[in-house]
Amino acid sequence: MKLRKSKLFGAIAIAASIALTATGCSSGGGSNASGQVEVFSWWTGGGEEAGLNALVEVFKQEYPDVEFVNAAVAGGAGTNARAVLATRLQAGEAPDSFQGHAGAELFDYITAGQLEDLSSLYDEEGWRKVMPATLLPLITVDGKIYSVPVNIHRANVMWANPKVLADNGISKPGSWDEFFAAADKLKAKGITPLALGEQWTQLHLFETVLLGVLGTDAYNGLWNGTTGWNSVEAKGALDTFKRVLTYTNSDAASLSWQDASKLVIDGKAAFNIMGDWAEGYFRVDNSLVEQEGYTWAPAPGTAGTFQFLSDSFTLPVGAKNRDAAIAWLKVAGSAAGQDAFNVKKGSIPARNDADKAIYPPYLQSAMDDWGSNKIAGSLTHGVTASNAWKAEIDTALGLFLQNKDVAKFQAALATAATSAGK
């Protein structure tokens, strides 16, 4: 299918993996796996697909006898991929391994008994030592680990157009109040202060506002029940969110996140809040140079906090090619595999022993932040809330976007938390 492309990436990946094995990071290929392995993900385009292909090349090096079947279906952030997966799992036609966001999103599969416990694989591969201590508790259920994280993305990033900032004498806002001050200036000049896209990007904005206004500890408390959704603090965050929306483009609902980023690139908007996968869009797809064409900062009020999401692979109960699936997981968790994958994908490896030098500057700084910052999870990308809870929040947000009624919104969010058992 993607022959020519994968050959190209293959060559790069092979080079990378040879370099890495030479430095002693071999994950030790097992030869007992054969047949095929069907891996389900939603990585079908751009850097995501390139990353997956690079990972597959490493896998083929280690397990040449296993045929890799790429069952990727587009649409991870929403529609198709998850429906296909849910249907297949229900009907007992599980793929050999599937991608999921590490955190609460995977708990649904775990409580349904659809995933195998991978604790012993962690012991065998020594992953407990190389996977971050901040991450492991978030993917552990009752002392067992069910997934292998391959990467970390940062959600709370505010992207900006440096020229627009300079022309208007604005610096990157450290808080939402600073943002409002800057936004009023921009609005007076006819520049959209904050570019926004379709509803999931609005949910993404919402979670960064919650984090920025409440602070990291109180934000994390929303998800374990120690911060009340009915509290005055939460209401403050919702009021801020309502105000932020008044500084956004009127056509948000019809734009993809890339369209919104493009508004920043073209100087029609000053800021945009999006996860750090946008970095690849600025730097690679639009050939821009950091600090000239684009710049970034933590979203207002979130400096010192790394709001993360992580993609991970699993072993479904009833996988037809269990040995090959375990082989795949070993590669996904290996240093060689993670470096090959993440350089292409534009994310940082979940492991903390990556070869930092091969990553572009933004990702190097992200690695530093991931190591030193406070950690918070992303709601939109499956870390903090179960699928059902997230869906209720999404519906509440959708109604709020219609009626802009903060009191109703807060009541709906509180109800959602209650029905999620928090």
Partner 1 sequence: MKKSRLSLYPALIFFLIFFLLPVYVVIVTSLKPLGDISLDTMWSLPKSFDFVNYSLAWEKLGPSVINSFQLVIPAALIASFLGSMNGFVLAKWKFPGADVVFPVILFGMFIPYQSILIPLVTTMRELGIYGGIPGLILVHVIYGLPIMTLIFRNYYASVPNELIEAAKVDGAGMLGTYFRVVLPISIPAFIVAIIWEFTSIWNDFLFAVVLTGPSSWPVTVALNNIAGSQIVQWNVQMAGALIASLPTVLVYIILGRYFLRGLMSGALKG
Partner 2 sequence: MKRAKDWMPGLLLTAPSLVALAIFVYGFIGWNFRISLTNWKALSPDYSFIGLQNYRDLLVDERFKIDIKNSLIFTVVFMVACLLLGLLLAILLDQKLKFEGLFRSVYLLPMAISFIVTGVVWRWLMNPATDDRISGINLLFTKIGLDSLVNQWHLTPNWGMAGIALPAVWQMAGYTMALFLAGIRSIPEEIREAGRVDGASEWRIYRHVILPQLRPIALSAIVILGHISLKVFDLIIAIAGKQLALDVPAIYMWQTSFDAYNFGKGATLATYILFSVAIVIIPYLIFTMRQERNS
263 versus 417: smaller Cβ distance to partner 2: 263
Specify the 3-state DSSP secondary structure of 297.
strand
Provide the angle, in degrees to the nearest 10, between the axes of the packed helices 335-345 and 3-22: 130
- Interface pick for partner 2 out of 23, 31, 111, 120 (rule CB under 8 A): 111
256 versus 419: smaller Cβ distance to partner 1: 256
Residue 134 has, within 13 A of its CA and on its CB side, a CA count of 20
Q: Are 101 and 78 in contact (CB under 8 A)?
A: no
What contacts 385, CB < 8 A, 6 or more positions away?
104, 223, 379, 393, 420
- Interface pick for partner 2 out of 387, 406, 414, 415 (rule CB under 8 A): 387
- Interface pick for partner 2 out of 113, 137, 143, 421 (rule CB under 8 A): 113
* 92 is an interface residue for partner 2 by CB under 8 A: no
* 112 is an interface residue for partner 2 by CB under 8 A: yes
* 6 is an interface residue for partner 2 by CB under 8 A: no
Binding string, residues 164-183; x marks residues near partner 2 by CB under 8 A: --------------------
3 versus 91: smaller Cβ distance to partner 2: 91
65 vs 363: CA distance, rounded Å: 34
Q: Are 200 and 290 in contact (CB under 8 A)?
A: no
Specify the 3-state DSSP secondary structure of 305.
strand
Specify the 3-state DSSP secondary structure of 37.
strand
Instruction: Give me the least distance between CB of 95 and partner 1, in Å please.
Output: 9
92 versus 421: smaller Cβ distance to partner 1: 92
What contacts 130, CB < 8 A, 6 or more positions away?
335, 351, 352, 353
Residue 268 has, within 13 A of its CA and on its CB side, a CA count of 11
Question: Which residue ranges make up the site for partner 1 (CB under 8 A)?
Answer: 1-5, 38, 42-49, 69-77, 80-81, 83-84, 87-88, 90-93, 256-259, 262, 266, 277, 280-281, 285-287
Instruction: Give me the least distance between CB of 410 and partner 2, in Å please.
Output: 15
* 398 is an interface residue for partner 2 by CB under 8 A: yes
Among 85, 112, 79, residue whose Cα is nearest residue 97 = 85
| Count, residues near partner 2 per rule CB under 8 A | 36
Residues at the contact surface with partner 2, assessed by CB under 8 A: 78-79, 82-83, 86-87, 89-90, 108-109, 111-114, 190, 198-200, 249-251, 253-254, 263, 268, 387-388, 390-392, 394-395, 398-399, 401-402
